Structure 1
Amino acid sequence: MSEVKLAAAIRTEFGKGAARRVRRANLVPGVLYGHGTDPVHVTLPGHELLLALRTPNVLIALDVDGTTALAIPKAVQRDPLKGHLDHIDLLLVKRGEKVTVEIPVHTEGDLAPGNFLLEHVLNTLPVEAEATHIPESVTVSVAGLEGGASVLAKDIPLPAGSTLAVDEDTVVLQVLAAQAEEPAAEGDAETAEV
């Protein structure tokens, strides 16, 4: 996993008006917290942060007034209509420290022949990994699975250095037999048209 370097400035103004001024300048207000330290309110470059967040669980090396801190995104708020970043919470981490994150679950292969549906019970899998070696995703083969089959968390191969942060018997994927709707009787169709 690569680190993304961003410069951050300490924010001294607070409130709705101050946040709007920050966003108009193409900056994103945020807060940096963790390890028992007081929260630090910062502003981050909007475009660079948006690009960095394309990678799930990205490790961000922040330069805050000459000091470098490692952080991972904890909560990201976006504008529901325009899609731009409104605010970000960043969690301080240290090299060698274990963190719990959720990584995307991808599937590969085709189900067994038949009328089956694959249901993603969990789209992400909670794992514990070292902060500088967070896996980007896990891939599960569903080749040949039939209706009624389930993939449990313990069945998913994890990258080296990662452990499950969820009960190992948790269902992540399951295969369902698709059920066809029965055609409506002619009498039912005539009453529906009236």
Structure 2
Amino acid sequence: MSEVRISAEPRTEFGKGGARRTRRAGKIPAVLYGHGEQPKHVALPSLEFTNLIRRGGMNQLMTVEISDGTSELALPKALQRDPIKDTIDHVDLLLVRRGEIVTVDVRINIVGEPEKGGLLVTENDTITVEADATAIPDSIDVSIEGLAVGGHVTAADVTLPTGSTLVSEPETTLVSLTQPRSEVSAENGEDAEAEA
């Protein structure tokens, strides 16, 4: 995951009224915290931050350059969204350091072709790993090449990128190849006829 820079301004107004004024000005109220430091309240440019999250997801490493001359390395930890407008109302950013190991959920990318005649079901679309804060994978490939009907791929079956360690339970099913429902129904019907 590449590191990006985003500008921020210190926030002095708090509470609902202050947050509303910040949002009306085209900014998102945010808080930077971690490493036992005092939380820093900042305002991020709304459009720029939304685009960063859309492209990089919740594992987007960013250097937050605050207008008071300081800068912090951070990862998005939590987003509060407006359910009607689908805009970001507030952001929690976790302070990280270069070389620090962090636990993150990384989306999976399914590659390969399974056996014909099966229905591919994604049970989990992310896998939890530990990785260096500056080397979080964008995604992790999960191979389904030649997967047989009735088979599945677990977290333990995945080859992780160098420097990443599995945190998810090894037996967590990521994808499975099931028999299509119509075929299952047809087989059950044939069994019922045979019993009759």
TM-score (normalised: structure 1): 0.88
1:126 partner SS: strand
1:77 aligns with 2:80: yes
Runs of at least 4 residues off by over 3 Å? none
Distance in 2 between residues matched to 1:36 and 1:45, nearest whole Å: 26
Distance in 2 between residues matched to 1:97 and 1:124, nearest whole Å: 21
2:18 partner SS: helix
1:16 partner SS: helix
How much does 1:126 deviate? Answer: 0.4
1:6 aligns with 2:2: no
2:181 partner SS: coil
How much does 1:111 deviate? Answer: 2.1
Number of residues paired by the alignment? Answer: 181
Percent identity, please.
49
Distance in 2 between residues matched to 1:113 and 1:47, nearest whole Å: 44
1:42 aligns with 2:42: yes
Distance in 2 between residues matched to 1:110 and 1:160, nearest whole Å: 25
1:157 partner SS: coil
Distance in 2 between residues matched to 1:169 and 1:143, nearest whole Å: 19
Residues 142-157 of structure 1 mapped to structure 2, 5 A cutoff: 142-157=144-159
Q: Which residue of structure 1 lines up, in the alignment, with residue 20 of structure 2?
A: 20
Deviations 1:26-54 (A, max 9, x none): 10001111111121111111111112112
Q: In structure 1, give the amino acid aligned to 2:27.
A: L
Distance in 1 between residues matched to 2:115 and 2:149, nearest whole Å: 9
Q: More displaced, 172-181 or 154-163?
A: 172-181
Q: Which residue of structure 2 lines up, in the alignment, with residue 178 of structure 1?
A: 180
1:136 partner SS: coil
Q: In structure 2, give the amino acid aligned to 1:107.
A: I
More helix by share: 2
Q: Which residue of structure 2 lines up, in the alignment, with residue 110 of structure 1?
A: 113
1:55 aligns with 2:56: yes
Distance in 2 between residues matched to 1:144 and 1:166, nearest whole Å: 24
How much does 1:113 deviate? Answer: 1.4
Q: Which residue of structure 2 lines up, in the alignment, with residue 189 of structure 1?
A: none
Q: Which residue of structure 2 lines up, in the alignment, with residue 95 of structure 1?
A: 98
Deviations 1:67-112 (A, max 9, x none): 1110000111222222221111100000000000001011122221
TM-score (normalised: structure 2): 0.87
Distance in 1 between residues matched to 2:136 and 2:96, nearest whole Å: 12
Distance in 2 between residues matched to 1:40 and 1:61, nearest whole Å: 14
Q: In structure 2, give the amino acid aligned to 1:140.
A: V
Distance in 2 between residues matched to 1:41 and 1:178, nearest whole Å: 52
Distance in 1 between residues matched to 2:98 and 2:70, nearest whole Å: 16
Q: More displaced, 137-146 or 85-94?
A: 137-146
How much does 1:123 deviate? Answer: 0.8
1:122 partner SS: coil
Q: In structure 2, give the amino acid aligned to 1:81.
A: I
Q: In structure 2, give the amino acid aligned to 1:55.
A: G
Unaligned runs of 5+ in 1: 183-194
Distance in 1 between residues matched to 2:122 and 2:116, nearest whole Å: 19
Q: Which residue of structure 2 lines up, in the alignment, with residue 167 of structure 1?
A: 169
